[in-house]
Structure 1
Amino acid sequence: MKTLRRELVEALDAQGYGAADLKRCVYVIRMKGDFVIAYPLRRSPVLYIGRGSALGRLSSHLRRWLHEIDGFGKDVRIEIRVCRTRRKNVTDMFKYVEADLIDWFAEKYGIIPFFNSRRETAYAGCVDYTDTDAAQMKAALGVGKGKRPLWAIAPAPANKNYDVFHRGWNA
């Protein structure tokens, strides 16, 4: 966790931000490299979409489930994309962005991200985005241009995360 915290703070510093900028943000935890998740409709590297104080939440994820990613294979790595959400007079913008990202994900992939436990229906669809903002946000959900993962994986019934993966199907 110390390494993760240091790397996040260094990345923020390089972009002219401080740790305080991670208080009301949205983050996407993704697999990086040759592996993606085989969701029902398409493949995506996204494991989780979250919001809040990123450093504290990531620490919690690391203790609860993120350490299990090592069991996916020796070449599986993760990346974390952080979005500082700001809109004048909208203090809960980060809640709306997270909810919309989860909704967009479920619509495109047929299910919510692997480690998300629920949809954020109270905040979804309440904000209008510019086409550019929506495109940039949705880019965090897919594989990415020019990337060609070699494997798409999903948990089998013997895996303890099998039920976690299969909750949140798009109805």
Structure 2
Amino acid sequence: MATKKPGGMTWLETIELKPDRSLATEAAIVRTLTKELTEALAQQNFAAIDLTRCVYVIRMKGDFVIAYPKRRSPVLYIGRGSALGRLSSHLKRWLHEVDSFGKDVSIEIRVCRTRRRNFEDLYKYVEADLIARFAKRYGSIPFFNSRRETSFEEWVEYTDTDVALMKAALGVGKGNRPQWAIAPAPANKNYEVFHRGVDD
């Protein structure tokens, strides 16, 4: 196996989005969430061009977490790419559904900028390792991920601080006390999505 490459990771401040239940349509909710996301990134002095090679973790915050096979976690999805564009796309496709989990549930997004000289694709390896670590600890890949990125796994050498921050992005977190752990039943349209990533 080739020598592992050192990583270079910086996590942004956590971004919280709260769906506005007074809005009449799904499209209006998505527009509002996208605006909130753009403003939250701007408050941290980041524009879309600054976040082109990122990794992001989409989580629930509130009374509910997901009952994965081995442990509970609020993580719904781990992704990579242009953070603003990809996150906006997720909002349009499925993130707004989180609103149906309960009135106290909001969306939490953790974005990691990956930068290392002569290693432009670092973000692909970090995403792969986050998904692999999640599968090992929780018994499956995150709810809305479709697969592991095995060809990119275990090529990066992380510092102890990197590992601690990665673990924090995947877990419930200190001080958080969710009341319920949920999983889709067979009648749920997302039942197959949830079970396709079980890690045997």
Give the TM-score range, shorter chain.
over 0.9
In the other structure, the counterpart of 2:109 is 80
In the other structure, the counterpart of 1:123 is 152
Which has the larger Rg?
Answer: 2
Q: What is the identity, as a one-letter code, of the residue corresponding to 2:88? A: S
Matched, 1:151 2:180: yes
User: What is the distance in 1 between the residues matched to 2:150 and 2:131?
Assistant: 9
Q: CA deviation at 1:160?
A: 0.5
Decide which moves more: 92-101 or 51-60.
51-60
User: What is the distance in 1 between the residues matched to 2:119 and 2:68?
Assistant: 33
In the other structure, the counterpart of 1:35 is 64
In the other structure, the counterpart of 2:27 is none
User: What is the distance in 2 between the residues matched to 1:126 and 1:109?
Assistant: 22
Cα separation, partners in 2 of 1:5 and 1:71, compared to 1, 3 Å:
closer
Cα separation, partners in 2 of 1:87 and 1:57, compared to 1, 3 Å:
same
User: What is the distance in 2 between the residues matched to 1:13 and 1:82?
Assistant: 13
In the other structure, the counterpart of 1:141 is 170
SS in 2 for 1:3: helix
- Work out which of the residue numbers 127, 137, 141 in structure 2 matches 1:98: 127
In the other structure, the counterpart of 1:71 is 100
Conserved? CA contact 2:61–2:108, under 8 Å: yes
Matched, 1:170 2:199: yes
Q: How many residues are aligned here?
A: 171
In the other structure, the counterpart of 1:109 is 138
Decide which moves more: 10-19 or 149-158.
10-19
Gaps of 5+ in 1: none
Q: CA deviation at 1:68?
A: 1.8
Q: CA deviation at 1:76?
A: 1.9
Q: Percent identity?
A: 76
- Work out which of the residue numbers 37, 55, 63 in structure 2 matches 1:8: 37
Q: CA RMSD in A?
A: 1.4
Conserved? CA contact 2:33–2:91, under 8 Å: no
Q: CA deviation at 1:137?
A: 1.6
User: What is the distance in 2 between the residues matched to 1:156 and 1:35?
Assistant: 16
Matches within 5 A, 1:11-30: 11-30=40-59
User: What is the distance in 2 between the residues matched to 1:8 and 1:87?
Assistant: 26
SS in 1 for 2:156: coil
User: What is the distance in 2 between the residues matched to 1:156 and 1:110?
Assistant: 18
Q: CA deviation at 1:82?
A: 0.7
In the other structure, the counterpart of 1:61 is 90
* TM-score of the aligned structures, taking structure 1 as reference length: 0.93
In the other structure, the counterpart of 2:25 is none
Gaps of 5+ in 2: 1-29
* TM-score of the aligned structures, taking structure 2 as reference length: 0.81
Q: CA deviation at 1:15?
A: 2.6
User: What is the distance in 1 between the residues matched to 2:171 and 2:145?
Assistant: 16
Q: Which runs of 4+ in 1 moved over 4 A?
A: none
